[in-house]
Structure 1
């Protein structure tokens, strides 16, 4: 099981999701037939609905990431809707209306849920039986690996692990050959982007092509009042996949007790996630996270956190010198 996190801002999100995940409510049975066939009439203003689940998957495919797919109309979903609506010249209030649902379904005629057969690579590991909470304890591990196949599969298909379980009741996810239901989230490969904008108020990272066209948008966690995200304009300095994170005592993180520098190994459960996009503001960057469900709801130590899959997608579109603008 994924470890609990000590990020208080994430707790309201977890509490808000508890009831919808315990009881699907209006969603009815969560099957490929009900979700693939969902219409705008199946949407609900709160709680879990098949229409919202369908819309989230379509947004993810189009590059307007809703974060971890959970079927619930939360902040990240509304932010993704607003960006999509803006690109479609619709009313960008971030609410799922009939016109937006129609525009989303027009983007693809492929089913949003599909069958997937678990492979030996999905279950082979090596996995970490437990990831420590404290950074100093993480530094003792050789790799910050997934804690098991369920976590790996959830990230592979951009889905909240609880939703993965709801879609596959009774499945243990650790047997090769098992067929499961997953979102079809394959994205088109995007071209290079010329500019990244980090919108602090919206908690969203926007990627623009050279002609000013919005290519992609991702929910993000940004810094707190104590450890704020920088302001101003910088450029990408480097992209490092599977990064090793070096803690410097001058960071002065409250939860770190040692006054010595130390390294935390690479892996999807690393504090940096699976990729680091370093910028010319020293020690700051855009990177992945070990807890994608908290993106947009938790605070960082000043860097910009994306889900691992969104960070990897963005890393594939930038290069050294790409502009990174922080919008207050």
Structure 2
């Protein structure tokens, strides 16, 4: 018993010291990454418990990813500064990447208006910096900081940059596939989405297999709660841009067909649900995941949705929880009240009127 009473406090002291050493006080000025936080983010990202963009800073989605991973492993959930996960397998925070000539095939002119985008054959990255941030799942501010004094706006083939040590997102491996093959082994799995938490969880029975931050709809265009099915998964989809659908959920004849590419509004994957017009998809704005609103669908980072599609299949159940769309106010057109007719003009009385009154 003496041995046990001696060892246990020692373990607790070690764990507490490790936890409190994780977050410096005060925090360094943004965007300087905190090594311990970045190490945890890289670890969670590799397990597909997405902390969102890697930036080496504490935040909401890093904590949510940590807690869901702890729950999946049967550990007690803790705040960020209290975790005791073994991260020893993350031996390097950074690696290097040399920009290749062929990378330029995915970078080019990107018009801002749908009318101009519809005339292109491909919607590319607008810069090598955007190409790198998506490839290595990170914030542009992180790349800019860790590569000082290199100018990220002047990158060119042959340049070697420092990047987070994660499995890279390979845009060059994605080709258009109208419907990904079904996998019967995954049919019993369930996707559960909490639009209030802005989180998508993939379950196999009671076990969480993956967890990703999402951007759901809100207000009039809130993501519809309910139980749905996956009706198809499309790789490198096109997109029918219709302002009436985006704003009111009603199709119009005024639309544009936007081509494939990483800057397509639905990114590189579309997971269609049995609720018409609603799906889980990629995005052309990964830096805003969880911090803005969609037009009813659920978008997540391209690097996350591609990995998710390897764990799901057509026919699976998707359960969405959250507030229903806010009813739009009904405007009743009121008729404009008409002014009363003017009184008939009075005839002046003449001499004979008085005589014959």
Deviation at 1:104, TM superposition (A): 4.5
Question: Could you tell me whether the CA contact under 8 Å between 2:109 and 2:124 is conserved in 1?
Answer: no
Q: TM-score, normalised by structure 1?
A: 0.77
Partner in structure 2 of residue 113 of structure 1: 94
1:54 lines up with 2:39 in the alignment: yes
**Secondary structure of 2:61 counterpart:** helix
Can you give the 5+ residue segments of structure 2 that lack an aligned partner in the other structure? Answer: 1-17, 169-184, 323-357
1:219 lines up with 2:198 in the alignment: no
1:184 lines up with 2:184 in the alignment: no
What RMSD, in angstroms, separates the aligned Cα atoms of the two structures? Answer: 2.6
Deviation at 1:222, TM superposition (A): 0.3
Deviation at 1:42, TM superposition (A): 4.3
Question: Could you tell me whether the CA contact under 8 Å between 1:40 and 1:51 is conserved in 2?
Answer: no
- Higher Rg of the two aligned structures: 2
1:96 lines up with 2:80 in the alignment: yes
**Secondary structure of 2:311 counterpart:** coil
Deviation at 1:283, TM superposition (A): 0.6
Can you give the 5+ residue segments of structure 1 that lack an aligned partner in the other structure? Answer: 1-37
Deviation at 1:312, TM superposition (A): 0.8
Deviation by residue 1:182-218 (Cα, 9 ceiling, x = unmatched): 112129xxx9471111111210111122x43211100
Deviation at 1:157, TM superposition (A): 0.6
Deviation at 1:109, TM superposition (A): 4.4
Distance 1:131 1:192 in 2: 40
Question: Could you tell me whether the CA contact under 8 Å between 1:196 and 1:205 is conserved in 2?
Answer: yes
Distance 1:104 1:275 in 2: 33
Question: Could you tell me whether the CA contact under 8 Å between 2:238 and 2:258 is conserved in 1?
Answer: yes
User: Could you tell me which of 230, 240, 244 is aligned with 1:236?
Assistant: 230
Distance 1:275 1:195 in 2: 19
User: Could you tell me which of 202, 207, 223 is aligned with 1:207?
Assistant: 202
1:169 lines up with 2:151 in the alignment: no
Deviation by residue 1:34-87 (Cα, 9 ceiling, x = unmatched): xxxx98614248654222122111111121111111112122212212212222
Distance 2:94 2:186 in 1: 29
Deviation at 1:224, TM superposition (A): 1.1
